[in-house]
Structures are given as structure tokens and as C-alpha cells.
Homo-oligomer: A and B are copies of this chain.
Amino acid sequence: MIFKIPTRYFLVSGASDGYTPLNAFDGALLQAGIGNTNIVKMSSIVPPHCQRIAPVPLPPGALVPAAYAAITSDIPGEMISAAVALALTEDPDRPGLIMEYSSRGRREAIEEIVREMVKEGMKLRGWPIKELTSIGIEYKVKKVGAALAAVVLWD
């Protein structure tokens, strides 16, 4: 069913130059280990009882839901960064929240912003944070570059 609830998730990031912005994005997906799948973008929840696993190889061509931040740039020398953050609360029956952010700039600054974003999202829900994870990547563009950070849902 389309309405199935995933049971596993993992975090990945990647960056690459490429022939065009889409080729650079493809290279970033490949470097992140999810380049041969069909990523379907979704907004941005980890289901309750979903377990974090280490990144695994996915079946080629599988339809894979993911929450991701991505950025491309065609300005040689520009630094670009992408990051995702994930917050879980104490009650295991409540879902986790994912936020995504990308911008030119250094990874540290962009990852700090996305961590604040997820804190704000949990505050809005009134859910105390038990655990906050994030992953970010920065990339200095050669000609046409892309950076990507993702939470991938899996089963």
C-alpha cells in the first residue's frame, strides 16, 4: 500500500561536480550511496518505532521515500552546504521530526541552523527532545556542483 509505514531509516550525505546541475545532483546521490534508486521526496517525519540503521545498499530502481536538502551552484569556487536534522522525543509512540536546510556557506553554520529548525519544530509540538542527530556536508564547486543530505526511510 502507498500508506505503508516505514520501519527503518538512515542518514547519508554526498557532494559532486557534474556536467550539468542534474548530473552534479546525480553524482551527489551516488556518493551518498543512493544514486541508483528512485528517490521520492516527502515531508518530513520519522514514524514511531522506526529504527536507525547504518546505511545499506538499496535494490536498484526501488522507490524510496526520503527527506532531503539539496543545493546546486554553477559559481566556481563557491562553498555550498546541505544538512538535515532529526529530533526524537521521549514517548516512543510519537514520531520524530526531520528538518532540511541548504545554502551557500560552511557546513558548520548550515548544520547549526537546521538543528535550531528542528528544535523549533519540537517546541511547536510541545515535545521535549530526547535525541537530536544531524548530518551535513560542504562542497567547494569546481564548475557545477551539488551537495545533498538525506534521511532515507526503508523497510
Measured CB to CB, the residues of A under 8 A from B are 1-6, 18-20, 22-23, 25-27, 29-30, 36-48, 50, 59-65, 67, 94-95, 97, 99-101, 113, 116-117, 120-121, 124-125, 153-155
Contacts and interface: CB of A to CB of B under 8 A. Distances in A.
A148 to B, nearest CB: 11
Contact of A121 (B23, B64, B117): B23
Question: How many copies of this chain does the complex contain?
Answer: 3
B27 A38 contact: no
B22 A117 contact: yes
Contacts of A29: 43
B38 A61 contact: no
A4 B63 contact: yes
16 contacts: A2-B6, A3-B62, A3-B63, A6-B63, A20-B120, A26-B121, A27-B124, A30-B125, A38-B67, A39-B42, A39-B43, A40-B40, A41-B41, A45-B61, A46-B61, A47-B62
B23 A60 contact: no
A23 B120 contact: yes
B95 A61 contact: yes
